[in-house]
Amino acid sequence: MKAKNQRLILAGLAIVAIIGAALLAMSALKDQAAYFYTPTDAKRDHVETGRAVRLGGMVQGGSIKREADGVTIRFIVTDNVETIPVTFKGIVPDLFKENSGVVAEGKFQPDGSFVADNILAKHDERYMPPQVAGEMHKTESLKK
């Protein structure tokens, strides 16, 4: 076999190996990806229960309720169109409060509620998750 043919075969094998590695990496990321939903997106797309997702929006004013155990918190996430009740067990960030931006990581339940494993609160008084800001902007522009 000529040296030129051997190089072509090696280059072909390298390309096949790179494509295989990329497919394996994409497959692994698909299982680990947590998609972001606003309440409107989640209700429209009927997100499957038990799937790890991020729910972002604003904490509805007057909705934060602390359970008697002291670690369970219930609140409502809204994007000013739809609302979703959220339950979280644990210590919330210091900046977590009503009428502020929040991103909850967790899973939807069969009843449509959301159980959060982690809460990310805003870090600036003007902060709003970009997807929520986009949805709220679209909503306001449609009302006019």
Residues marked as binding for heme? Answer: 123, 127
Strand partners, 103: 56, 120
Tell me, what DSSP letter sits at residue 129?
-
CB 75 within 8 A of CB 57: no
Contacts of 136 (CB under 8 A, 6+ apart): 79, 80, 128
Residue set of the binding site: 123, 127
Total Cβ atoms within 10 A of residue 105: 18
How buried is 143 (Cβ within 10 angstroms: 0-12 exposed, 13-18 middle, 19+ buried)? exposed
